[in-house]
Amino acid sequence: MTAMLEIKDLHATVDGKEILRGLSLSIKAGEVHAIMGPNGSGKSTLSYVLAGREGYEVTKGEVLYQGKNLLAMEPEERAAQGVFLAFQYPVEIPGVSNTTFLKHALNAVRQHRGESELDAMQFLKLLRETMKRLGMAEDMLKRNVNVGFSGGEKKRNEILQMAVLKPTFAVLDETDSGLDIDALKVVADGVNALRAPDRAMLLITHYQRLLDYIVPDRVHVLAKGRIVRSGDKSLALELEQRGYAEFAKEAA
């Protein structure tokens, strides 16, 4: 079986500085992988490269998503094909309500999949059910996208978007950072609810804590722009005990 996501020898620069230096990774449908690594190891760069953010220049290597060249697609095309990035720092958009945002996003993605647009009633029903499941207050819909949201609310809002858009491949970039244990459980439940044989996920995290709630199939250690170790979930525990320093040395 071919991988859902295949990253081969990926090199990427930001402002002329090489951040990813030969990263390779293969994720199959149904799998959840975790990437752990110290600050500056390239975790967020990887997530932005996968989502297609400007300013992140791939200088070498390739990324195949469902066998297609992901890097050749515009960001909206990637989303329409089922790629989703839960942002480490969700963006505030004054003047756009969360409802409007979600509706435009869902309808754009549905249209791309050849599905009909949802009418206002169907859409609100879907939204309300999803929010209830995620334990989110309905007033978050009327508020402008992420404006004045607490850190936890922003992260829940990312999970709400993910739950509504139902991506095939999701990258969660430090979605656990800054969350208290209750919020962490909500986020983890949201992620676990989406686990399915035809989906895959990549969790990017600094801490092992998240992996108590979302148990990964594979754990990778990222250091200086490359994967330096891969293993099962026990690798995360080992990291927690020994710290990143040793792995950083391996990468050097």
Partner 1 sequence: MAVAAKSPAGSAYLDRYAGERVRLEAGARPWLAGWRRAGSEAFRAAGFPTIKSEAWRFIPLHALIEGDFSVDAPPAPFDRSRLKGVTFGRAAENRFVFVNGRLRDDLSSLEHLSPGIELLSFAEALKSRPQLIEGFLGNAPGLAGHPFAALNAAFAADGYVLHLAPGARAEAPIEILWVGSGADKPPVYHPRNLIVAGAGAHATVIEHHVGLCIGSYFSDSVTEIALGQGALLRHCKVQDESREAFHMAVTGAHLAAGAHYDSFVFSIGGRLARNEIHVALDGRRAHCRLYGAYLARGEQTVDHTTVIDHVSPETSSKELYKGVLDGRARGVFQGRITVRPNAQKADGQQMNRALLLSNKAEINSKPELEISADDVKCSHGATAGELDDAALFYLRSRGIPEAEARRLLVEAFLAEVIDAVALAGMRLTLEHNIARWMAA
Stretch that binds partner 1, among 35-43, 108-116, 126-134, 210-218 (CB under 8 A): 108-116
Closer CB to partner 1, 200 or 228, in the complex: 200
CA dihedral 223, 228, 232, 234 (to 10 degrees): -60
Stretch that binds partner 1, among 64-72, 97-105, 129-137, 234-242 (CB under 8 A): 97-105
Among 29, 64, 71, 96, binds partner 1 (CB under 8 A): 96
- Interaction of residue 91 with partner 1, rule CB under 8 A: yes
The answer to whether the CB of 35 falls within 8 A of the CB of 46 is yes
Stretch that binds partner 1, among 9-17, 95-103, 132-140, 210-218 (CB under 8 A): 95-103
Minimum distance of partner 1 from residue 107's CB (angstroms): 9
Q: Is 240 helix (H, G, I), strand (E, B) or coil?
A: helix
The answer to whether the CB of 209 falls within 8 A of the CB of 184 is yes
Minimum distance of partner 1 from residue 62's CB (angstroms): 20
Q: Residues 49 to 78: which contact partner 1 by CB under 8 A?
A: 51-54, 74-76, 78
Among 134, 165, 200, 202, binds partner 1 (CB under 8 A): 165
Would you state the structure tokens that stand for residue 141, as one six-digit string? 């819909």
Minimum distance of partner 1 from residue 110's CB (angstroms): 9
Among 100, 166, 177, 178, binds partner 1 (CB under 8 A): 100
Using CB atoms within 10 A of its CB, is residue 84 exposed (0-12), middle (13-18) or buried (19+)? buried
Closer CB to partner 1, 28 or 112, in the complex: 112
Give residue 154's identity as a one-letter amino acid code: K
Helices (H) and strands (E) in the chain, counts: 9, 12
Q: State how far the Cα of 186 lies from the Cα of 89, in Å rounded to an integer.
A: 18
- Interaction of residue 87 with partner 1, rule CB under 8 A: yes
Burial call 195-227: b when 16+ CB within 10 Å, e when fewer:
eeeebbbbbbbbebebbebbebebbbbbbbbbb
Among 95, 114, 148, 197, binds partner 1 (CB under 8 A): 95
Q: Give which of 115, 43, 30, 120 is closest to 85, Cα–Cα.
A: 43
Contacts to partner 1 by CB under 8 A: 51-54, 74-76, 78-80, 84-85, 87, 90-96, 100-101, 104-105, 108-109, 112, 144, 161, 165
